Structure 1
């Protein structure tokens, strides 16, 4: 059996929207869907031999069953032909989903959970799981354009290679075009000379830098396009501020794909600033893909 698509639910509207998206992703992959509901922290003491995640409090059963029933119904509406499995555990949501992500093809969560403060653009679970999860994480947010492309944020980093592969696979599954977007500016200069080095603001030869950025984009796309010749790929090079340009480009996309950390990120940083900005402000669902740890 294929690795499952895992979705976390908490009874919120955002969570139910995530279930529908996760069900469609499971259908595209011919994979089962695992719907997970965490009921808060476990008791402080467990007797010897007890399961690490004990059964939930029986008093919560009516509420939990309501959450799971609505989630299962939403999954069936979105993709009636997939296998659906339900899981309820007494543990913190982030801990549960992090463990689930170790054996999942994809994890899906809503952009805001039931406990999010009014006005908070991204729930804490989504932000933390993007940094600590072990599989690609799709955060369902915004208003995707159903006929739009899969939008790949190209950054040329080693960690970003996994994001490139995921974006091509997702475009093939959706039978959608792919836009490989690379945003650059003069602050990008030093990373060509020494990857990981701090960027610089003043560049003497902007044309030379533009050519280098174009080569980076072309090389990132080239060999994967050869392996998937049926995908309509557009290479788009834009000189601008990176985060605003990517956020603006997401308006016409059905999905955005980004690596967890770009070539300008600090060593040890689990989620780069560009990824964080997209999770908070993109106009379509965003998938954060981690490279090999």
Structure 2
């Protein structure tokens, strides 16, 4: 297991507070410190840290930030009693600040949209940037997970999905959950409303292709099964369109894990249409793991 804290970015929004709860539980499971951070660009804005002489004494920017952090830490301790938590205000633009924090973290947790100091912390900006550039896995918290559901990992072959699979096995072990490994095949083009190009249309032998894809999935999982014999694994190979298949599968999961890049149906994952669809529409938190991070 990686060292370093679990880091969560907060701004006082409901989405960020949900992320704090998830991050606190992750830190407690991992035996890690929880580091609650708020990024703000007040030095560049020339905003006085104290209250306005014309307003209430507790109405300044610093007081507001301290309230945000205090509320977040209180929420963390309530969600995961016993977790060790600290907090910090980081001067600078949120995307840059969080990316820098990820260098020493074992996990970065963010909400799916934000406000205030994290203005723009919504899908398509900060969370997607972190998913593509973070130096540790990133968990984007959206919707309430099914607490007794499995961990779901999207698998795209042994080489491309190694980091995501390793992280998913680790999460399933920590949570005492089953692991569902889902491999989607058959669609080469999965964009918009146009009819996707199916490999079966070109080759035609469905049984042979299905057997080949099942073998790929088995190869991708074999090493991790040996390392985590305690994790019950259900392998699923589905012929279909990547985006709707992954989104539908997320309904019963407590966490969905994806790699940062892929091939075939997963090309451009987290930088293209599949990533946008998963992060916008998954029915549970989504963890993104870049290659080489685990």
Q: How does 1:1-293 map to 2 (within 5 A)?
A: 2-40=3-41, 42-43=43-44, 57-58=49-50, 59-114=60-115, 122=123, 124-156=125-157, 158-187=159-188, 202-264=202-264, 271-292=271-292
2:277 alignment partner, SS class: helix
8 A Cα contact 1:261 1:272, kept in partner: no
8 A Cα contact 1:168 1:178, kept in partner: yes
8 A Cα contact 1:159 1:290, kept in partner: no
* 1:21-69 residue CA offsets vs partner (Å, 9 max, x unmatched): 0000000000000001011364289xxxxxxxxx993441110011011
* 1:235-279 residue CA offsets vs partner (Å, 9 max, x unmatched): 111111111000000000000000001123668x87353233211
Give the number of equivalent residue pairs.
273
TM-score, reference length from structure 1: 0.85
5+ long unaligned stretches in structure 1: 46-54, 189-197
Single out whichever of 78-87 and 139-148 deviates more from structure 2.
78-87
Q: CA deviation at 1:199?
A: 8.7
Q: CA deviation at 1:128?
A: 1.4
4+ residue runs of structure 1 moved beyond 6 angstroms? none
* CA pair 164-135 structure 1, distance change in 2 beyond 3 A: same
8 A Cα contact 2:186 2:198, kept in partner: no
* 1:159-199 residue CA offsets vs partner (Å, 9 max, x unmatched): 321000000000000000000011111539xxxxxxxxx99
8 A Cα contact 1:261 1:275, kept in partner: no
Single out whichever of 28-37 and 76-85 deviates more from structure 2.
76-85
User: Structure 1 CA distance, aligned partners of 2:159 and 2:143?
Assistant: 29
User: Structure 2 CA distance, aligned partners of 1:243 and 1:249?
Assistant: 10
Match of 1:50 in 2: none
Q: Alpha carbon RMSD of aligned pairs, Å?
A: 2.8
TM-score, reference length from structure 2: 0.85
8 A Cα contact 2:108 2:136, kept in partner: yes
